[in-house]
Structure 1
Amino acid sequence: MQFSVLGPLALTVGDRVVALTGTKPRLLLAVLLLSPGRTVATSRLIDALWPDAPPASAVHNLRTYVHRLRQVLARGGDSADRLVHDGTGYHLRVDEHELDLLRFERLADDARRVAREDRPEAAAELFDRAVELWRGRPLEDLPDLGAELGATVTALREQHRGMTTELTELRLRLGQPARVIPSLRRMVAEEPLDERWQAQLVTALTLAGRVGEALAAYQQARRGIVDELGVDPGPALQGALHAALDADSAQAHAPAGRPGVATGVAPPAPPAGRQALPMKPPALVGRDTTTSQLRAIAEGVAESTGADEHAAVVLVSGAPGVGKSSFSVSSGYDLADLFPDGQLFVSFDSGDAAPRRSGELIRELLVELGVPLTDVSEDIRERAAVLRCALAGRRLLLIIDDVDCAQQVRPLLPGAGRSLVLVNSRQRLLDLDVDWRLTLGALDRADAVELLATIAGERRVREQPEVFGRIAAACDRLPLALRIVGSRLVTQPDVALSGFTDQLEVEENRLAELVVGDISVRDSFSVSYRALDVDARRALRALATADALITASSAVEILHLPRQQANLMVEHLVQHNLLLPVESDGPGQRFHLPALLRIFARECRAPG
């Protein structure tokens, strides 16, 4: 029989799992296995099984659990003398080859003895065998271990930490940094304040010739330590930094064609100033104020000089069709001079399929940044940690498009550094911690007509300004609708313009007219509508029946809900940018449902 405590508690015979049910019997077995070969006093067993207050029948109950455990052991083929009572307590006889804990301790002792004999390769192999025995946290499937058992498990985890540190040191001495980088990435992600592991990661990356990543890893570690503890890194991490800086200097001054690090392998350099933005959109119209605001933000980020600066995050939100993606991508081109390390773009949008996963986007960014993926596991936390390290030492602009929720985008956000991140979302994402929030709305009349002129032709607009004003109004001055109509007007002769405008102004026809190729206003609205739950969809459809501005009182009447619930529903739709607050000098907040959205919602009156 095999007993396992270095992870979930398990009993096996060959490939067969021996089931032991019930929390108390499993706790009993765990206590006995953590004292292998020794008698555990009855009082200690009772304290472990009932850490708060044992019942009056504790001794009787303990005997019942011992009997049940003996039955399970017998079903596994064990002899009757495996679990014995010796007068003061209970003793579980277990040999080294039967318990993973004993094998772990023997392998660790042998590894340290071999290391003292100056046989590092053999010691590392023994440590590796010891590490392989761990399947997770000791007894991680048992709830409420109590003070004594919990302290024993904590001591075991400390042994594991110490042994892992020793193994890493051996691999680094042997010149094998690539073998420990993946595990170090995972460990510093789980324990970001462990300076020894942070120092080992910086050292391993330096020895692997990845000095830029080593410096970024140090910056990430230092920021976390300063933020959480209010102190500077200790000697180990500082020493790793100095070694990385020396290697960086050696690389910078190395003759052409000569490797700059001791490994003899030239480090892979990420592409400098990589521009991976989509095709630049047509010139922005009517976003001068917001563009100036974003330029000021970007200049402040780019000009910062403090070592502890954190990356800046700007949320760009707005109703469907207001041009969030076009605004951000156009801004990415215009701000390229401030971010010489590159401008990157990723999107959660996957067409008609489900949104792309965060891990997929992180992988895409790592490829763009020149980070080898051979060291990166599939674990999202480790991928996120690698991405933060890769971004920390760079000045770049990152655009993350089509974000549905805060949880989705958090793993992609950098920590330290002088980068700027633009997060595009249809929602206001109030639970996302950002530095600035920019909300895009419909254009004013003059700008809407100007946008039509840039597409359909300035001469036509000058000759028929009233008609184009009517078109802009029918389009709700929404950039997506204006671009669709502008594209259609390119092929419309002037004589047909009046009839086209009349047709567009008929509400029943409007959404059907706002289509060109595979782009339509109705499809854009549908994405936001499908993101709502059933109650919110019902509320949107109900509010679409009102032609006037919506107030707190009218929302109660329209939605047939108590005031608090009606207010919460209105707030929910505002957060989705489907209901827009209106500035008012009078008392009380008022809200506006834009005409195109109202027409769409009325079309959706059927349940769904």
Structure 2
Amino acid sequence: MDLEIRFLGPWEITAGDRVVRLAGRRRIGVLARLALEAGRPVRAERIIEEVWADSTAATAAKQLHIVISKLRETLGGEDVIETVPGAYRLTLDRDRVDAHLFTRLAARARAAHAKGQSAAADALFGQALGLWRGPALTEVDAPWARIEADRLESERLTVLEEHADLRLAAGDHHALAADLAAHVTAHPLRERPAAQLMLALHRAARSSEALAVYQSTRRFLVRELGTEPSTELRRLHQAILVHDPVLDLGAPARQAAPAEPITPAELPAGTQAFTARAAEIERLRAALLSADAATITVIDGPGGVGKSALAVHVAHTLTGRFTDGVVYVNLHGATAGLAPLTPIEALRHLLRSLGLDGTAVPANPDEAAARYRSLTATGNLLVILDNARDARQVRPLIPGGAGCRVLITGRAPLAVLDNAHHLHLGALGEADAGALLTRVVGEERVRAEPEAAARIVRLCGGIPLALRIAGARLAARPGLALSDLAGRL
């Protein structure tokens, strides 16, 4: 879907190259509420309460239904806004709404900064702030919209000030002083940007101006709040007065980290002969794309039934939905000749996949798990935990963010995991098993010996791995009759 909604500034909707015109206070209000919860259901009662406000119209529910119909018509289709029991959901990727994209870019910037990737963090902060074209939600004047607008503005100010800290550390004080001056004037009660401006001016050899910023800030705080500046701001003022060398910028350390955040793409190649499982594919896709609290999906079943192949196949269809990448770990829970991975071994792999230098991975399992949860707290990541042994092995590997999804395969159902969808995978039916054998061996050979092919299918018990092994033997020996192989099984 090419639809994009922007309200960090004047209201703007585009569908590809087309600008979508939206008129009507209630239509804009309903779409704004749905966009703020993009991908998640919003109760009809909540929409009516907020958008219709103090209206006593007994037909508000009917009016809402009409508004939804008009929005669907304007936005290009019935599937744009989905009706769910008692609610409506805007079926739009959250990155297609500028407010959500802003939040995600800011989170990625913080994560990059935490990894020491200053250049990448600087670029991401800049992209996030660049989405703002003016005050948010100006076309909606309802109380709920003002609350949301104030929340978004508070987030913008915080991100701007976090970016200023990064720029100060990078030695960008000359340009930063000019950028912060207007910010401090517009928000005279915020001490953090005042301190940043003072430090930037001092480092730019403009200490007298830095001291003037302090005096102006102090006067405003005393007049408006009846309070003196914080201890931190007073200490900075004193340090500038005495030209304390602790305020000087040291030489920026060289970064060994890459200039861009790492986006892992670790999926193994899919199985070319993958066959059937249409219902299971749809169930898994729905579970992984669901906005409910269940972030974990478990596929269980006997060995050779195709759990790993199904997981990888489904994951390949969803890679574009997870903007922070896909990580894959084979936990070797039932691999012959190999011991299952310990949680700390798996965590080392996951943390390195997320860009953490190997020397920075904590040796303590609890500390490593905590670091992993921190790095994934705001992420949009798909984690594949293949061939798991038990719940104890996988629990430390569950990411911390609500935007992350985990797909686990294993022989045990792992029923003790909280907030999980479960899918038991059984053997293929006779028709699907025959189709799999045909894809591996070739239609001509199967058509020449249909009874032998049917016998091979029965002897393999509908187990995909057994069918692939039998098919591979036939494919490797074009002269081997299917009846001969069936007699050997």
TM-score, with structure 2 as normaliser: 0.48
Instruction: Tell me which of the two structures has the higher relative contact order, counting C-alpha pairs closer than 8 angstroms and 6 or more residues apart.
Output: 2
TM-score, with structure 1 as normaliser: 0.39
Rg larger for: 1
